[in-house]
Amino acid sequence: MSIDLERIERERARITETYLTRRDATSSARGIHHVALLSSDVERTVQFYQELLEFPMLEIFENRDYRGSNHFFFSLGNGNTLAFFDFPGLDLGPYAEVLGGLHHVAISVEPATWKRLRAKLDDAGVDYILESEVSIYFTDPDGARIELIADPLGEMYGTKLLDQEE
């Protein structure tokens, strides 16, 4: 398969010219309330996110849409949460990255925390990909791709995405 990189660059430039707003533009959103992923084993998920990654579990209760299913939440700081559902009795199959699906969840951590968590991933034998010395990509126990990034919120690899904190 051949990729026309010049065409892609022209299209990116056209989209930038047409749609890119000021970095200080006000969004209609307050933030991400939660991102919900699937868990095949609640305790294993809690051990991974709370014990290994140090994201405190905030709450667990029955899913309002599926009796017997748990809906549980972890704090990501700044009022952001990562949520999970388990669906006992349903065979959901393994995680699959598909068009229109989730690619990864990027979670910002302080540089010192990033180094500590990287060491914990090493100690736990979790395989990861190191990118640009500020990002670690790995999969959780159910295959969802997670990124720990040491860049500040509103910044990506040295490029400011936001001019001010909202």
The CATH number for 81's domain is: 3.10.180.10
- Classify residue 129: in a domain, yes or no: yes
Identify the pLDDT of residue 111. 96
Q: Is 82 contained in some domain? A: yes
Tens-level pLDDT at each residue, the chain (166 residues)? 899 999 999 999 999 898 887 667 788 888 888 999 999 999 999 999 999 999 999 999 999 889 999 999 999 999 999 999 999 988 888 777 777 778 899 999 999 999 999 999 999 999 999 998 999 999 999 999 999 999 999 888 888 888 755 4
Contact in structure between 55 and 82 (CB atoms under 8 Å): yes
- Structural domain including 36 reads 31-88+95-160
pLDDT reported for residue 62: 94
Is residue 21 within 8 Å of residue 89, measured between CB atoms? no
The reported pLDDT for the residue numbered 23 is 67
Domain membership flag for residue 110 = yes
Contacts of 3-11 spanning 24+ positions with Cβ under 8 A: none
Confidence at residue 166, expressed as pLDDT on a 0 to 100 scale: 47
* pLDDT, position 1: 80
pLDDT value of residue 101 = 77
137 within domain boundaries: yes
Contact 161, 154 (CB under 8 A): yes
Residue 2 domain-assigned?
no
Q: Is residue 18 part of a domain?
A: no
Looking at residue 102, its pLDDT comes to 83
Q: How many CB atoms lie within 10 A of CB 147?
A: 18
**Count of domains for the chain:** 1
